Amino acid sequence: MIDPLLASVNGQSVAPERSDMIGKDAFLRLFTAQLANQDPSSPQDGSQFIAQLATFASVEKLSTIDSRLGEVVGGLAAVNASTTSNLLGRGAIARGNTLCVTVPGPYTFDYHSEQPATDATLTITDASGRVVRTVAVDALVEGDGSIAWDGRDDRGRLVPAGTYNFAISGVDATGNPFDVEERIRGVITSVDYTSGAPVPTIGGVPVAMPDILRLDLV
């Protein structure tokens, strides 16, 4: 039986299976066959053999590097999983504007403001984007602060359990509006590794690791 990889070397018409890459063993078989079947009256130039060997050496090194990188990534993932599991049960503050309502309020919304505000507005929307409550706030402090919400809508009714978003906007002393960074606070109850990267859950809300600003013992 003729090796498909050697078909062209032996002058056969058997077509090899289509492939974008060959392994190192196939490369060596092909290279050996090329040496054995070259025309004695017109041997291939030595520099061409050297170039082919150099190519093989480069491919082999890349294959080894790829294998080693896979081992390193696997090891780092294991270390990462072990390290982030220590976050469970820790109190945390993170960038975010989502709240999971599971029981009647009150709730507290945290924020960070680069400047004080003489007036501010807290707007709470449900999962569909509908505004359920607008709260006028007298002022915002510069730096870290919080705003309380009683868990009721604009009609005074307790909102049902579900996911809500909140937005805080401020107005400075000259009447110009400015952005305020919303933050969430809670206990890390789980860490999800489905995506390959750890995603902690704070108060029922998934949070990216870079968005976690502070960890506390509870």
Give per-residue pLDDT as tens, 76-121: 555 455 566 788 999 999 999 999 999 888 999 999 999 999 999 9
Q: Provide the percentage of residues in the chain whose pLDDT is more than 70.
A: 63
Q: What tokens does 33 get? A: 């066959």
Q: What tokens does 34 get? A: 């090329």
Provide the Cα torsion 34, 39, 40, 44; round to 10°. Answer: -60
- Comparison of pLDDT for 150 and 30, the residue scoring more: 150
**H-helix or E-strand spanning residue 33:** helix 24-36
Q: What is the mean pLDDT of the chain?
A: 80
pTM more than 0.75: no
Domain with CATH 2.60.40.4070 in the chain: 89-216
Give the model's pLDDT for residue 5: 43
Give the model's pLDDT for residue 50: 63
Q: Which of 88, 83, 97 is nearest to 129 (CA)?
A: 97
Q: Which of 8-12, 24-28, 96-100 has the highest mean pLDDT?
A: 96-100
Give the model's pLDDT for residue 201: 95
The amino acid occupying position 207 is V
- Res. 11: pLDDT tops 70: no
Give the Cα separation of 116 and 137 in Å (integer).
12
**H-helix or E-strand spanning residue 63:** helix 46-84
Q: Is 1 exposed, middle or buried (0-12, 13-18, 19+ CB in 10 A)?
A: exposed
Does the domain at 89-216 match CATH 2.60.40.4070? Answer given as yes
User: What digits encode the pLDDT tens for the residues 28-75?
Assistant: 677 677 666 665 555 555 566 566 666 666 666 666 666 666 555 554
